[in-house]
Amino acid sequence: MHVADQGKVLRVTYGLIAATAWAASTVAAANAARRLGTFYAVLISQALGLMTLGVLTALLHPSLAAAGHALAGLAAAGVLGLAGWLFYYRALESGPVGLVSAIGASYGGVTALLAVTLLGEHIGGFGGAGVMLAVGGVALAVARAPAASDTPADVDAADRGPRHSVVLAEKPRAGLLRQGTTLALASALTYGVGAFLLGRYSGGAGWLPSTLVSYAASVFSLVLVLPFVRPPVKTGGGPAGLLWAVAAGLTETVALVAFSRGGQVGQVAITAAVSSLYPALALGAGIVLFRERLSGQQLVGVGCIATGLLVLGLT
């Protein structure tokens, strides 16, 4: 096989590994957040990721000097990334896995827009179309579609018995859906800014030292605020919740390493494009494992987000 073809196969392979790991991390994060609560699930997964990156640093011996010069920027990236994770886990705790993961994945569009606006980077018309498609998909996914719960005020009294009880049952579910999509959107915005800062400084400091510093800032912030916020512990989580949190941290680290390794093999575009398909895998997992049901409008929105991210990744 030609060397260039081998490189392309490797980039696609790393992209598939990253996509699969991110989808698995989303499922694990949803289970962890629903059993342990958002704060402790994020703390465990981030701490495990930091330990894994520490082991990699000890094995690979990268230079940490450049990361020290960009300490403030990388720490800010870690804190913003932490906010994104807290929003994301909380959204998974209350919202559909497939929909939340698709909206959260649109952080790539936020990062791209910041790079164009602040750094003068060019993504071209093709990349701009991808961003617009992803934004349109988010708008479709979060828009409130007409539902059976939209009952007219003058409904016939004879119909209000059973139908009214259905409406009351649907209202909490609709509220959780709106909360989940709102939190997922907040996650995309904060994580997108954090990813922009991480990308901005990791070019000179190296991906491993930069990621290590940002993870350290994230874990340090969580430990620092723990005595003050004292989040409640869910008693029903048990060992399963802890195992899910560990799985979320490990799979997230695998995805990050695979994505970064794909960029080292060659141009990161192919790896980014393939890895951006992970919301589709998470959507399938949500349907199979959590028996989630999305409206046609939401499915179209998820499809637009995945397609937009794919187009942006290929730019």
**Region 116-137 average pLDDT:** 81
Its sign, for the CA torsion 82, 211, 189, 38, is negative
> Which residues 6+ apart lie within 8 Å of 273 measured at CB?
15, 309, 310, 313, 314
Question: Tokens representing 201?
Answer: 């400084």
**Region 234-256 average pLDDT:** 85
Amino acid making up residue 45: S
Question: In this predicted model, which residue has the larger pLDDT, 138 or 25?
Answer: 25
Q: Where are the domains positioned within the chain?
A: 3-314
Highest-pLDDT range among 170-174, 237-241, 311-315: 237-241
Question: Is it the case that residue 273 has pLDDT exceeding 50?
Answer: yes
Question: According to the model, what pLDDT value does residue 7 have?
Answer: 63
What confidence category does residue 244 fall into, taking pLDDT thresholds of 50, 70 and 90?
very high
Question: Tokens representing 8?
Answer: 């392309």
**Integer Cα distance of 206 and 27 in angstroms:** 30
Question: According to the model, what pLDDT value does residue 315 have?
Answer: 65
Looking at 3-12, 52-61, 141-150, which range is the least confident one? 141-150
Average pLDDT value for the chain: 80
Question: Tokens representing 126?
Answer: 């093709």
Question: Is it the case that residue 31 has pLDDT exceeding 80?
Answer: yes
Are residues 114 and 192 in contact, defined by beta-carbon separation less than 8 angstroms? yes
The position carrying tokens 């649109």 is 106
The burial class, CB within 10 Å (0-12 / 13-18 / 19+), for 44 is buried
pTM attached to this predicted model: 0.80
3-state secondary structure of 285: helix
Amino acid making up residue 285: A
Question: Is it the case that residue 167 has pLDDT exceeding 70?
Answer: no
Residue 155 backbone zone (phi > 0: left; psi -120 to 50: alpha; other: beta): beta
Question: Is it the case that residue 151 has pLDDT exceeding 60?
Answer: no
Give the tens place of pLDDT for each residue, 63-79. 888 888 889 999 999 99
Highest-pLDDT range among 156-170, 200-214, 226-240: 200-214
Q: What is the largest CA-CA distance in the chain?
A: 75
Question: Is it the case that residue 87 has pLDDT exceeding 90?
Answer: yes
Residue 96 backbone zone (phi > 0: left; psi -120 to 50: alpha; other: beta): beta
Residue 206 backbone zone (phi > 0: left; psi -120 to 50: alpha; other: beta): left
Are residues 9 and 57 in contact, defined by beta-carbon separation less than 8 angstroms? no
Rounded CA Rg of the chain: 21
